[in-house]
Chain A
Amino acid sequence: MLLEARDLSVRFGGVQALRAVSFAVPEGAVFAIIGPNGAGKTTLFNVISRFITAEAGRLRFAGRAIDRLAPHRIAALGIARTFQNVELLHQATVKDNLLLGQHVHRRTGFLAELAFLGTVRRQEIRMRERADEVLDYLGLQRYRDVRVAELPYGTRKLVELGRALASAPRLLLLDEPAAGLASEDRADVALRIRDVCERRGVTVLMVEHDLGLVAAVSDHVLVLDHGVAIAEGTAAEVLESSAVVDAYLGPPVAPTTPW
C-alpha cells in the first residue's frame, strides 16, 4: 500500500471532523473520497499534508510513518496536492508556478544561488525543460508566460494540476478537481486523471462531488459522512449501495461516463 491511514481522528473544538477513519491507497490506483459538504474530506487532505495533526491515528506513506513530519517534508517524499480553492501564485506566470512546483528538486544552496554558479544555471534550465514537458502534456504551452491572474478559472485549475505534476510526485492529492468547471471541461479532467495515473504512473487520491466523474475514473471509493467512513469498495459497489445513495448522495445515480 502506498498510503495507509489507521484510525485518524481530528477534532476542531466541538466538531469531530474525522472519527477513526482508516483506508489504504494501493500504488497505481485512482482512489476517490466522496461525501457531503463538511464530511471531513479536505480535513483528511490537510492531515496528509501535515497542516493539521490528528489527535489520534497513524499515517504511513510507502511504509514510512509520516505523522510527525513538517509539512515541507511531505512534498519531498513525493506527495503533491491541489487545493479546493486553487492556491497558485496569481501574480507570477504559469511557467514560474511550474518552476516553483519543482522546489523539492532544488539541489543548490543560498551561496551558490547568490553567485548564480553553473550548477544553479543548469538546474534552472533543467527545471524549465521539465516545466515545458508538463505544459505540453496539459496543452498549456500557449499560456507559459501569461500571469495566472489573467487566466480563466478552469485554466487555473489545470495549471495547478501542472504545478503538482511538475514535482514528479508518487502520490497526487486532488481536492475537487472538477468543481466549478463546465461539463466539457469535466470530461477533459476525467480523461486527464486517468491518463496521469496510467501513463505517468502517479497514484491519485481525489475528493470529488461529481459522481459521474468518480464512477468513470476511480478504482476505489471511500464514503465519508460527518467524519465517519461509512462505505468503501469499488466504484460500482459503493455507488450502487442503496444505503449510501439514499442517505448521503440523494436520489439514485446511474454511474454514467461524463462523455
Chain B
Amino acid sequence: MHQAPAINRAAEVRLFRRGADAIPYAGLAALAVLAPVYLDDYGLAQVGLALVYAIAGLGVVLLTGYAGQVSLGHAAFLASGAYAEAVLLAHGVPFVVALPAAGALAALLGIIVGLPALRLSGIYLTVATLALAFIAEEVLARWEPVTGGNSGLVVTAPTMLGWELGDERALYYMALALFSLALIGSANLVRSPLGRALIAVRDSEVAASALGVDLARTKLTVFAFSAGLTGVAGALYAHKIAFISPEQFTITASIELLLIAFIGGPGALAGALLGAGFLIGVPQIVALARPLLPPAIATQNSIEAAVFGIALILFIRFEPRGLHGLWLRARASGERIARRRRHVAHGERPGREAP
C-alpha cells in the first residue's frame, strides 16, 4: 500500500494547480502576442479569423459539449452581433460601447428564443433555433432600412481613444484579447458550480434536478452566454470582413460552428481553438494542394466541404473527443515512452509501470 498523497484543496481550485502547468499556456500566449513578427498580413488575418471563430466556438462547446444542448441557430446570433455592430457604429456609437452591446443583444435574443424552448426537452431547442435561423435570414434580407437588405452593409472601422483599429494587426490583437478573456471566463465557469451543473444537465436531468439544479434556468444561462459570445464574435467578424450581407449568415454558418466543436473536441474548451483552426486552416491547405491534385478533383469547388464531412465522420467513429482527443492521446503516449526510458535507465524491466 502506498500512502495517498496529501490533498491540497487550495491548489486544486486554482486555474493551474502548479506553476509549471501554466508554462505551455504562457508559451502559447507569447507565440500569439509575437505573431505579427513572424506572420505577414495575410497570415495574421487568417489566425485572427480563427480566433474570432474560436470565441463563438467556446460558446458552442459550453452549450453543446458541456450542457448537451444543440443549437442550429447560432448563425442568427453571429448575425445579430455583426449587424448590431455595423448599425451602432454607423450611428456614431463608440466602439467600446457597440461591441458589448452587440454581445448583449445576441444574448437577449438567446433568452427570448430559449425561454419557451428550454423548458422542454433538448430537441425543442434544436427545432426552435432552426426556426430562428430561417427567420433571421429573412429579416436580414427584408429589413432594408436597417440591414441594407441583400446589398448588405459596409462596416466602419473601429476606433478607440482616437486610434483607428481597422488594420490587420489591430484587429488581430483585438480578437486575441477577446478570445483570451472569453477563454478565461469559460474556464472559470467550468470549474464553478455552474460548470458541474451543465454536465449534470447533459448526463442526467433526473439526477440534476434531484440535486437542486434548476434545469430551465441552467440551460437558459448557458444558452444566453453562448449566444452572447457568438454575438461578440459576429461583431469582430463584421470588422474583419468590413462588409456584411445576409448570405454570410445562413444555416451554413450555424453548422460551421457546430463543426468547430465536434472536430475540435466538444468536451474541452481547447477544442474551440483547435476546431476553429481546422475550419480556417483546411481551405488554406486545399488551396495549396489544388495544383497537386488530379484535374478532375482539383476543379471541384466543394473539396473543403468534403474534407469537413470526412473529418467529422472519422472523428465521430474513431475519436469522439476530436482534435483535442488526438492531442490527449499523443501526450499520453509521450508520457509512456518517457516513463519507459526512465525505467530502462534505472535498469528495470521495461513495460511495467509504477502504480
Chain A interface (Cβ < 8 Å from any Cβ of B): 49, 51, 70-76, 80-81, 83, 87-92, 96, 99-101, 103-104, 106, 108, 110, 113-116, 120-121, 123-125, 128-129, 132, 141-142, 144, 163, 167
Whether the pair A167, B212 counts as a contact (CB closer than 8 A) is: yes
Per-residue interface assignment for chain B, residues 169 to 205, with 1 indicating a CB less than 8 Å from any chain A CB and 0 otherwise: 0000000000000000100110111111101100110
Query: A172 CB to closest chain B CB, in angstroms?
Result: 12
Q: How far, in whole Å, are A71 and B192 apart by their CA atoms in the complex?
A: 22
Given A75-B211, A124-B191, 15 more A-B residue pairs with CB atoms under 8 Å apart are A70-B214, A72-B215, A80-B211, A87-B206, A88-B207, A89-B200, A91-B199, A92-B199, A96-B196, A96-B199, A103-B200, A106-B193, A113-B192, A123-B193, A142-B4
* B247 contacts the other chain (CB 8 A): no
Whether the pair A113, B9 counts as a contact (CB closer than 8 A) is: no
Residues of A within 8 A of B189 (CB): 110, 113-114
Whether the pair B12, A72 counts as a contact (CB closer than 8 A) is: no
In the complex, which residue of chain B has the Cβ closest to the Cβ of A87?
Answer: B207
Query: A22 CB to closest chain B CB, in angstroms?
Result: 24
The 30 sampled A-B contact pairs (Cβ below 8 Å) are A51-B206, A51-B209, A70-B209, A71-B209, A72-B212, A72-B214, A72-B215, A75-B209, A83-B206, A87-B207, A89-B207, A90-B203, A91-B199, A91-B203, A92-B199, A92-B203, A96-B196, A103-B197, A103-B212, A104-B212, A106-B193, A110-B225, A113-B194, A114-B185, A115-B185, A124-B191, A125-B9, A129-B9, A132-B7, A163-B211
Whether the pair B210, A49 counts as a contact (CB closer than 8 A) is: yes
Whether the pair A103, B191 counts as a contact (CB closer than 8 A) is: no
Per-residue interface assignment for chain B, residues 195 to 237, with 1 indicating a CB less than 8 Å from any chain A CB and 0 otherwise: 1110110011011011111110000010001000000000000
Query: B101 CB to closest chain A CB, in angstroms?
Result: 18
Residues of B within 8 A of A128 (CB): 7, 9, 12-13
Whether the pair A99, B207 counts as a contact (CB closer than 8 A) is: no
Residues of A within 8 A of B7 (CB): 128, 132, 144
Known A75-B212, A167-B212; contact A99-B12, beta-carbon cutoff 8 A: no
Whether the pair A121, B193 counts as a contact (CB closer than 8 A) is: no
Closest 8 CB pairs of A and B: A75-B212, A113-B192, A104-B212, A87-B207, A116-B188, A71-B209, A106-B193, A128-B9
* B10 contacts the other chain (CB 8 A): yes
Residues of A within 8 A of B213 (CB): 72, 103
Whether the pair B210, A110 counts as a contact (CB closer than 8 A) is: no
In the complex, which residue of chain A has the Cβ closest to the Cβ of B13?
Answer: A124
Give the interface residue-count category, chain B: 20 to 34
Whether the pair A113, B188 counts as a contact (CB closer than 8 A) is: yes
Whether the pair B210, A75 counts as a contact (CB closer than 8 A) is: yes
Query: B297 CB to closest chain A CB, in angstroms?
Result: 40
Q: How far, in whole Å, are A188 and B203 apart by their CA atoms in the complex?
A: 29
Q: How far, in whole Å, are A142 and B5 apart by their CA atoms in the complex?
A: 10
Q: How far, in whole Å, are A220 and B193 apart by their CA atoms in the complex?
A: 37
Whether the pair B13, A125 counts as a contact (CB closer than 8 A) is: yes
Whether the pair A83, B185 counts as a contact (CB closer than 8 A) is: no
Most buried by B among A103, A114, A129, A144: A103
Residues of B within 8 A of A106 (CB): 193
Whether the pair B196, A83 counts as a contact (CB closer than 8 A) is: no
Query: A94 CB to closest chain B CB, in angstroms?
Result: 13
Residues of A within 8 A of B188 (CB): 113-116, 120
Q: How far, in whole Å, are A163 and B208 apart by their CA atoms in the complex?
A: 12
Residues of A within 8 A of B12 (CB): 128
In the complex, which residue of chain B has the Cβ closest to the Cβ of A107?
Answer: B193
In the complex, which residue of chain B has the Cβ closest to the Cβ of A127?
Answer: B193
Residues of B within 8 A of A116 (CB): 15, 188, 191-192
Whether the pair A87, B194 counts as a contact (CB closer than 8 A) is: no
Query: A89 CB to closest chain B CB, in angstroms?
Result: 5
